[in-house]
Amino acid sequence: MTDRLAIAIAQMNPTVGDVEGNLAALRAVRRRAAEAGADLVVTPELVTAGYPPEDLVLKPMFQERIEQAVRDLAAETSDGGPAMLVGSPWREEGCLYNAALLLDGGRIAAVRFKYDLPNYGVFDEKRVFTPGPLPGPVNFRDVRLGVMVCEDMWSPDVAECLGESGAEILIVPNGSPFEIDKSDERLNLAVARVTETRLPLLYVNQVGGQDELVFDGSSFVLNLDCSLAAKAASWTEDFMLLDWQRQDDTWVCEKARVAPEVEGVEAIYFAMVTGLRDYVGKNRFPGVIIGLSGGIDSALSAAVAVDALGPEQVTCVMMPSPYTSEHSLEDAAQAARSLGTRLLNVPIWPAMEAFDKMLEPSLGGASEGVTRENIQPRARALVLMALSNHTGSMLLTTGNKSEMSVGYATLYGDMCGGFSVLKDVYKTTVYQLSEWRNQARSDGLRGPGGRVIPQRIISKAPSAELKPDQTDQDSLPPYDKLDAVLHCLIESELSFQETVDRGFEPDMVRRVWMLLDRAEYKRRQAPPGVKISRRAFGRDRRYPITNAFTAQL
């Protein structure tokens, strides 16, 4: 009977569709595990394909390439080195499954299929995969491993089945996206499964960015007493070798490294950095371009970009109009200097005059007001996209969730761009993030330490500066009240009356509700951005554009 087992956690950052690159990373992980003396190395969910593969996984050619690559990798395990538990799409009897494959002894020694396919929020797995049956344990060198794939851990059914059928260690490969405060939820669910089954649990998550999703890693091990035996780092690839020993009828993981938890505002900041870094890197952009206005949203976006990519890959552009204040010019220049980025200055007043002249015969006096104001961000978008076309760098949009919620943004203007790091970040959180970045300097950030966002940018009243003496609060409620109402309507999905009962003015709630619904057509045309909350705009929150329900308020 086996009394000791060395299991390696491989917290990896796969790229969707890069079968060759993902398999090369798996081979590198196995070499490292062999050098460390591991018996088994556990990798994340669908690591061969990248997660989530969406409809790409339905292509027969893609399926065939992955299956051949896995068979080739399995054949290499005949060398006597460590076995691998690999997440992969897998076909069997005409069905496509989300599978965990045990590669050992030169073959695919065992296959287990994901039972509980999530179909909520950002997840559409029932669209592409067939649910597997309730699994039994995998026999690995006289140890019965209970393999649960990601969502299988979120309810008791799979763990209960494994426990009743003789599993000795629960192993959970994951592709679990980040949401604020989700790490506590994962840990609580793992504790529940350990408590119910009286079995230790090893949880392996992926890390990195994939389109709007980011994965924080934070893999961990719980012993039978629910104590934390090991925890991998957050927001970076990690490798841990864990020594397991049989004690009486129970397996125990010896205490290993426990990385500190990254929480709150710091976690949000690293989510934005990770999402942007991988979006730019995996899509092979040479860098990013940012319109730097002298306001807090663009300053924070620039700081995130520099921390993600380094200052040499970030170009900032100031585009003053006749309404741009002197302090905005000064603040933008100071922010660019502090971050070490290049700053271009391209005034847009000649374009404004040209458009006034062009439109006068058709619009006459109607070119004043909102029509004239919106010409300015659209002129800026033209400048920024011209620079993007010229350099190949991606234009980074700087709008926040508060603005996008109520439509306080110009379609084909300041909404123009390829990606948004603030898309799921409310304005009040923008201020918190800016203060945190000025006070903290963490490993893993590529920008300079110290204050990088000028204090005046944080303290001054926000303004689009599209007309004289304009502030955001001319058009919107104060951001602390607006964000609180939006959180009720979006994240909590409260009714009109339930929101009013939280202490808000009925007229304000009614107005915000109507603005939120009416802006759906804009949000459909907004760029992708990092998901932070439980209800990010996009796949999390799918509302009709044509919607008469608001009229019933």
Q: Which residues are catalytic?
A: 45, 114, 150
Q: Which of 265, 266, 296, 339 is nearest to 458 (CA)?
A: 296
> What residues are paired with 246 via a beta bridge?
251
Q: Which secondary structure element, helix H or strand E, spans residue 358, and what is its range? A: helix 349-363
Distance CA 218, CA 216 (A): 6
Distance CA 406, CA 518 (A): 8
The answer to whether 418 and 527 are in contact (CB under 8 A) is: yes
Q: Which of 213, 256, 257, 295 is nearest to 459 (CA)?
A: 295
Distance CA 38, CA 447 (A): 37
CA dihedral (366, 369, 370, 376) in degrees, to 10, reads 100
Distance CA 262, CA 254 (A): 23
251 three-state secondary structure: strand
> What does the block give as tokens for 258?
């426990």
The answer to whether 39 and 73 are in contact (CB under 8 A) is: no
Q: Which of 266, 424, 448 is nearest to 341 (CA)?
A: 448
Instruction: Read off the amino acid at residue 221.
Output: V
Using alpha carbons only, how large is the chain's radius of gyration in Å? 26
CA dihedral (478, 481, 486, 492) in degrees, to 10, reads 170
CB atoms within 10 A of CB 492: 14
- Give the largest Cα separation in the chain, rounded: 90
